[in-house]
Structure 1
Amino acid sequence: MKWRKTLLLGIVTLLLFPAQTFAYSNPLSMSNSWKWANTDFHGEGDPYILKFNGTYYLYVSTVDDQTGIKVWSSADLLNWTYQGLCATDPITKAAYAPEVFYHVDGNFYMYTSPQGGGHYVLKSSSPLGPFIPVTGNVGMGIDGSVFIDDNGQWYFYSTGSDQITIRPMSSPTSFGAAVSSGLSMAGWTEGPTVLKRGGKYFMTYTGNHVWSTAYRVDYAVSSSPAANYIPAAGQNPVLIDTEGANIGLGHNSIVRGPDLDSDYMVYHSHAHQGNIRYPGRKMNLDRIAWNGDRMTVLGPTTAAQPNPDLPDFSDRFNRTGIGASWSNVGGGTWGIYNQELMWQDTTGSTAWYRQITATPTGSDYTAEFNTKQMKQGTGANPLYGAVFSYTNESNYGLAVLNRNLNRLETQYVVGGVSQGWQYASLPGGFDYTKWHQIRIEKSGAAFTVYVDGMKKQTRSVQGLGGGKVGYTTSDVHADFGYVAFSNKVGGSSAWNAYKPVPGTIEAVHYINGVEGTAFHDLSAGNIGGTYRAGEVDIRLSGAEGKHVVGWNQTGEWMKYRINVAESGMYDLDVRAATTFSDAKFRIWDGTQDLTGAVNLKNTGDWENWQTTSKKGIYLTAGNHELRFEIAEGEFDFSGMVFSRSETASPLLDDFNDGNDNGWTRFEGNWSVTGGQYTATAATSFAKTTIGNDRWSDYTVEADIKPLTSSGDSGILVRVNNPSNGKELANNADYLQGYYAFLKPDGIFLGKMNYGYTALANATATLPVNTAHHMKVVVNGTNIKIFVGDMKVPKIDYNDNSANPFTHGKAGLRVMDNNTQFDNFQVYP
């Protein structure tokens, strides 16, 4: 029933991305790691990566008992070469979280807080240093980070009174008054990083204590760089792992991958040797996938992951001659200098000289150019910069820099007809004799131009497709550095990426390709006309806050790439909305039917979203290409989550053996006496867990005897990422899962996700010093709570939120109460 289609778009043929190879795994091993003087290891804490002229530079915190700041370089984010100390001044002893930013004046500015005692600013003409202090201690907490907006305005973000504060900057060394971002993790909050995407500002930030296993990353979104950041409540924490071999994840930075389109979260984890947690940290790298304003970190991972994709074309000019991969148009004098850059030095003419690559881009692409002016002629309008979408002198685009007028100038020629010059001013102090980056993003008819990361112009140019790229001058002697392009734009690198499983796959991230290969759609055009070109119908869901695949009908399908960490049983959660009662999906791995036809619930409205689970899917380790089929009816599709699964093991603990073997205590004072498991936390909180975080559907029963009328006590289900809220912190909410609990006046259900959300309650009279039998049944997204009467639930709740917990351990918890527990049992 495609009567819901209202808009027809032409068929678009897209290039398939190059195949990805699997090579790296977290945490990464680095040469020349920082080491304590009297121990073996410290590692790479607070990693920050700068990209400049096609090369990545890594800076990390200095170990507390040593001086200097180390730097590594890489062309691909994985193979790092140690370049020595980039700063040696005595103030760099225990230099925490050094971050480096490039200013339009051609200098690099480093911000670091030695021993956490306030910030210093250091300056260098090279990312390799030497960095020399140019300020004294300017204070402002620790973990300073800079964001540069499109107008060239700088902002400084750092810690302050358990929150992130923001200061506008009038220069790289001048800081305005602090403004609160409003962001806090209910305790120590640090490690801010800001980026801009789609006109919105995204801040990632970390809490709580660096040596807590609950160290984690959240993110928030704002329409301003300087205020009103709103946490992404339904998605936070965006990165966390408290149990296992790689824990304590946080203090991230974000860097764009070598393919010019993908983003990666760079973060550290606690260094381990066996079961010993050393005072050290290791660097990790995981891909970010975007969907509208939603950031998904495809991790944390420890299994082998695809190497970051390289661009489809790149040139570092590391040779003696220009070579056959370039062709000259219009003349000029061109050459290679020191096997590191290309130059053109003819001036005195208004003619355009060009060097053009032999390799063309696809129809949509991202291209990067790096250039600097050596000198210019005496003419009225000397120009130099990038040429792109070039097929001949009648069809091309230009993005060039004008030193005389301090501006970017763009020109497009289509079919021999000029589309007119347009201009965008550049910040004051822009030094044209230093390296600057021009970046072009072409999507459809839209060309967006950035200078040094600042978005300066978007123009719609009809009739100009992909083409060759290159460099161009008019009356300028210029040098040209790293140049590259990828046939990806706007985050499209996520489409063909192998998403790690366990993990999340967005519905709109089906693979790139054409009808019958990447997808099957029964009518022409993308009805919603949003997110992607092609035939698959995509709309923006207000309820989900992201793009979803809509208008699906029987027989249609999309393909998705996954990278399975280990062979075994998995459960699948599919998020869908439909008004049909016969809607079904099916998933294929090649010719193997993995799921059979799975019934979806009639959610009653196209914006009422619910999660449907399919249990017990066997997947083998490695990369797969799955086909998601609309097997029957119609439904809109938001995404799917694969989780490792294991049937809950029946257990009974009456504590008559005098111990709590198998339980993991976190906070509070737990003891086993007289066949009772007692928690003493009358003015505090306590929890203990048991079981396996792969458990899905199960029942928990226990006798609960509150000994005081204050606070509450009860059962935990679907527990993930528990941590000790008293270790280096004071937070009662250090877990993810559901809490079914008793108070003298009723029965309650809450959701805990490093914060607390009340879900449901039922009035009841439950006296203290009396044992009350509670049963909690979790099945899919449904939670039933029984107290006393084991046949009729007191609470029957469906978690239809975007992030229901469908797997996890069981446990017990008290808050401001002393409680005795007995006859605890779990069964499938």
Structure 2
Amino acid sequence: MKKLCLFSLLMCSILAGMAETVPFNNPLFTNFRSPLWEGEGDTVMYTADPSAHVFNGRLYVYASHDMVPANGCDHMDQYHVFSTTDLTTWTDHGLIFGSGQVEWGRSEGGFMWAPDCAYNPADQTYYYYFPHPTGDGDEWNTTWKIGVATSNNPATGFTQQGYIEGLESLIDPCVFVDDDGQPYIYHGGGGICKGGRLKKSNWKQLDGSMTAMTGLSDFHEGTWVFKRNGVYYLMYADNHGLDGNQLKYAMGNSPLGPWTSKGVILYATGCDTSHGSIVEYNGQWYLFYHSSNASGQNNLRSVCVDKLYFNEDGTIQVVKNWGEPYNGPHTVTEVANTTDIALTLQAEDFNTGMHYGYWDTTTGNSTNAYRTDVNVDIKTENSTTFVGNMENGEWLRYTVNVAKAGLYDIDFYVASGNGDGKFHVSVNGTQKTAEISVPNTDGWTLFQKLTVPNIPLKEGEQYIDIRISNGFNFDRMEFRNAQLYSGRPYNGPHDINDGAVVEAEDFDEGGEGIAYHDNESTNQSGAYRTDEGVDLENSEESIHISWSNSGEWTKYTLNVQTAGWYDVVVRVSTGNGAPGSLSLSVDDIDEYDMVSTTTANWQTYGTVTVKNVKLTAGTHVMTLNIGGNINVDKFTFNAASYTVTVASDDNETGTATGGGTFDGGAQTTLRATPQSGYEFAYWNDGSTQNPRTITVDQSADFVAFFEKTAYLPDDSRTVCVTCDSRSNEISVSAGVGDLIMSADVKVDGVLVQSAKGIKQAVWNYTVSVPVTQKIEVVVKTKDYKIVKTYWK
């Protein structure tokens, strides 16, 4: 069974706002060896898609296995499990399951992707869930099944038990077991996320149908569900392009939603994919994820781990896995002119920590100059200290504090004796430039200025990556305000108010790198604007952007006449049954989530909506960013309006106000007022703030719960509470005509479970504790409270 969080609430108040990195020896498991995909010999162990669980006081990580040589994802043929008691010393339990054991699977093997594991205390069995296709050849992507293997040991002895009937062809299974012992299964992919119940009596069969998870912003794949303090969390990978997916999350009051998206947990790591799991172990929460730092190849990934922290309201802080600034802080100051230097940042002052602040493919600083405790080669010649001997796959990371958000030109001082150097720039894990070529400067110590224009930086702390694809020498960076945007509206002006339409083909004039970026220099279809490089096509009675590829973009100068929040509806089509995706940004600063869709074919159009785009009055530049192949026809700007409903769980106990219909961005105050003899307890999203002011950026439902000011004595028989001394299973049942509203479980005075808004007659919960500890159960109904204490 899962070991429950013994200190989460206690530590939450201490650690709120405290997200410092305590580095681990990332990436994990690379000290173990693996056989090659074919032939003799072995290589470094590469692992991905970690599923972390605590069983019997030990932390286990179930991972997929990238094999050498990498060949897409089809050389993933087996599963390993690793375990630890201190997150420092790990045990590789070896191969626990492989495609050769799947009797119903494809004969060609491979394709053993992200797995999960769950323990059923009723039959004392570990259930291992894994995706695998039945079809050979090109049929692999339409014949996915979720297989099941079982064992009485969490690390060995798994035997295949077939697959779960009734599931569609999706991947990435996740099994979450709720406090009452009910198992739920989730799977997804390609923008689809579904969840449903498994039978309590048979964890290999569905109990009813699967339903779509609603409220998730830009879902791609990789579902992970967990519960903390009575609130459910769903983490997933988004469709973020360029430097790879981000990990995002949503919160809800039910394991099957609806969900409310909350934002990013982990920025893109430079790897094409992202997949993670969250687990509590010994009072600390952790995020497991993967990156390709160790190999420099997207299909040879390695599992990593970092600490995870929650805010007081239950939201999750972004995992700070970018190290600490060296010789900092480094502040981009506010300056008046484009010639003024806002920050000079030396190349050798990259952030601290291998994997966190830099990645280098060789061991040690070969010259022992400046920083002797790093693996990066730092040299001093002709009174200049610089970073040298850089190789493909290496990167340097710098934390900067930006005084004023805006676009910045960064002057890189670089040297090369052959002109083969190449790199690109990322901000907070998002690639912001195409590959940049370093010119031949006629010597490895003859540094010249190379200007990289229009890098968007938000106000506050963020990190910048310099990712190397071929070597050069690097001295410093100088930050300056960017030159003013020189693009001009085409077929404009584009006046924006409610209902305004802008055609996608009417992107600004200004040319490649200013008004647009396209991978080809000519308009391949030759329609409409033949002197520009953006591919435009005339079909289905519309001119539209076509032949698009990830990383391409177009800009549009807007004249906003009516300020406010807008839902931008984009008319699009995709082909070949594959999803396409796009995102919008305003003034290169305000970036909005990638959205994706799939239409029947390139000639069948649908719409996607980028919600809550905030536009102030005046001139702004909107950028269309292509994430995946998609045709784009036009943008329709609709003024955003949202409905907030506010109610009391029971009007006899109290009332709640603050609802209504609001323009996007408006604020409203939610207020809960108890009736005589009652007091406010909490809102349905777990918040205990009353009154509370929220910014309305989506429709939402809020319910206020109240409880008696004075309860009957503890010996009330309205609620019956028992605790099995052998299994530590707590059973709670309400009397006739009553319902359990909340149940708190404490171990030695520390809250380990807080279930709110239950509204059910029976509630069960199993707590895993040493036999010397005290268990206290506090159960409340609308009118009664009972406290039971058990010494173990």
What range describes the TM-score normalised by the shorter chain of this pair? 0.3 to 0.5
**TM-score between the two structures when normalised by the length of structure 2:** 0.42
